Structure 1
Amino acid sequence: MSRLRVHNFAISLDGFGTGEGQAPGRPFGHAGERLHEWMFATHYWYAMGGGEGGGTGADDAFATMHGQGIGAEIMGAGKFGPPGWQDDPGYRGAWGPNPPFHSPVFVLTHRPRPSIEMRGGTTFHFLDASPADALKQARDAAGGLDVRLGGGPTIIRDFVAEGLVDHMHVVQVPILLGRGVRLWDGLESLEEAYDIEAVSTPSGVTHLTFTAKGR
């Protein structure tokens, strides 16, 4: 069976995966881009934009795993767009006409709408479903490849709490946000279900990998 994976999900030292005050043009609220500066310096990020350059060290090696062997993605309504996007019937996501997913994407929302087919192979499907039901649909669409769980923090927390996540890569960034949405709330004793490894890099971040025990 294909695995459910999380990659490149950045949190602050105090555990916030996004800041407070999300709005159009501010997808991470008051956090701005500070959670992702480590990734912007990698060759992976430069190549995603069609350019050359960027570092090729450990940060790049972790970042590159984001797209390997992925056949579908699940994301929450907050990743698809800022608060209120459900009120705009013409809203098509935050990534322009050619989103970077190039696969089926399942958006979890309490207000579903018809699917949207985009350029480059991305089709957004909107589901009001439980984590287990959403994962089943994503796996069916992934064609035997793995499914990526894209976030935000609430969605990841819900899937982890139900024991559905097989592999998780979390990047702890050395900043304090103080407010926003935390990743770890309610996940006490997570270490009992996962083998955990930590790798710190010269950029100052720590890459935490969680691999479900017995899988």
Structure 2
Amino acid sequence: MPHARVHNFSISLDGFATGEPQSLEAPFGHAGERLHEWMFATRFWDESGSAGVDDSFAQRNTVGIGAEIMGANKFGPPEWQDDPEWKGWWGDNPPFHSPTFVLTHRPRPPLAMEGGTTYHFLDASPAEALAAAFEAADGQDVRIGGGATVVRDFVAAGLVDFMHLVQVPIVLGRGSRVWDGLEAVEDDYGIEAVSAPSGVTHLTFTRKSAG
């Protein structure tokens, strides 16, 4: 049975997945790239990178994934919907290589890119979006790609089977938090933590079986 999964999702010690304000020049606001430096140092990101604990977790990001779901703020800067030429942050050959569903209140026609990525723009509930993504994934898993609001909404709806969050030892103080409104989420998951030499902590949440 296919699952909905979150991978390589970085958060600060105080739970923020991005800073503010977000813009074309600063996609992660005042956080800059600090939340993702652990990943940039891995072989997953660069073949000359390290092959340690961080890389082992990072590599699981793409295994068995048949479709992606992301929020509007991950696809582009504020008001990208006003630019008909905007095609996402990732250029002509995005890294998803699968059907990718962008949640937005202003849908547009599907956009086919190089490398097998096709963006589908949906105004849909989490359950509706996940159903569409599972159909497109053709028996494989669906990655819930973020940002924080999307992850939070899918967890709150009981739709996420597995989460890999990477807690980075910085305090942002403001931005978009993943935990807001998810009181006692730990009751629904088995949780493991692995500390890495880089200073980050890999947190995995595996949904407990009913009963």
Q: What per-residue deviation string (whole Å, max 9, x for no partner) do you get for residues 131-182 of structure 1?
A: 0000000000001000000000000000000100000000000001011010
1:65 aligned to 60, 66, 73, which one? Answer: 60
The residue number in structure 1 matching 2:11 is 11
Amino acid at match of 2:33: E
1:127 aligned to 92, 112, 122, which one? Answer: 122
The ranges of structure 1 where at least 4 consecutive aligned residues each deviate by more than 6 angstroms after the TM superposition are none
Equivalents in 2 of 1:25, 1:97: separation in Å?
19
Identity among equivalent pairs (%): 70
Amino acid at match of 2:31: A
Equivalents in 1 of 2:84, 2:39: separation in Å?
33
Measured after TM superposition, the shift of residue 25 of structure 1 is: 2.7
Measured after TM superposition, the shift of residue 26 of structure 1 is: 1.3
1:186 aligned to 177, 181, 186, which one? Answer: 181
Equivalents in 1 of 2:32, 2:181: separation in Å?
26
1:202 aligned to 197, 204, 207, which one? Answer: 197
Aligned pair count? 210
Larger deviation: 134-143 or 24-33? Answer: 24-33
Q: What per-residue deviation string (whole Å, max 9, x for no partner) do you get for residues 18-74 of structure 1?
A: 00110003110110000000001001100xxxxx31111110000000000000000
Measured after TM superposition, the shift of residue 187 of structure 1 is: 0.3
2:73 aligned to 70, 78, 89, which one? Answer: 78
The residue number in structure 2 matching 1:154 is 149
Amino acid at match of 1:198: A
Measured after TM superposition, the shift of residue 90 of structure 1 is: 1.3
Does residue 113 of structure 1 match 2:112?
A: no
Q: What per-residue deviation string (whole Å, max 9, x for no partner) do you get for residues 95-137 of structure 1?
A: 0000000000000000000000000000000000000000000
| C-alpha RMSD of matched pairs (Å) | 0.7
Equivalents in 1 of 2:90, 2:185: separation in Å?
33
Amino acid at match of 1:201: A
Does residue 28 of structure 1 match 2:28?
A: yes
Equivalents in 2 of 1:155, 1:144: separation in Å?
22
Amino acid at match of 1:11: I
The residue number in structure 1 matching 2:169 is 174
SS of the residue 1:42 aligns to: coil
The residue number in structure 1 matching 2:88 is 93
Amino acid at match of 2:142: V
> TM-score, normalised to structure 2's length?
0.98
Equivalents in 2 of 1:124, 1:25: separation in Å?
23
Equivalents in 1 of 2:3, 2:14: separation in Å?
28
Equivalents in 1 of 2:196, 2:133: separation in Å?
33
Equivalents in 2 of 1:57, 1:78: separation in Å?
31
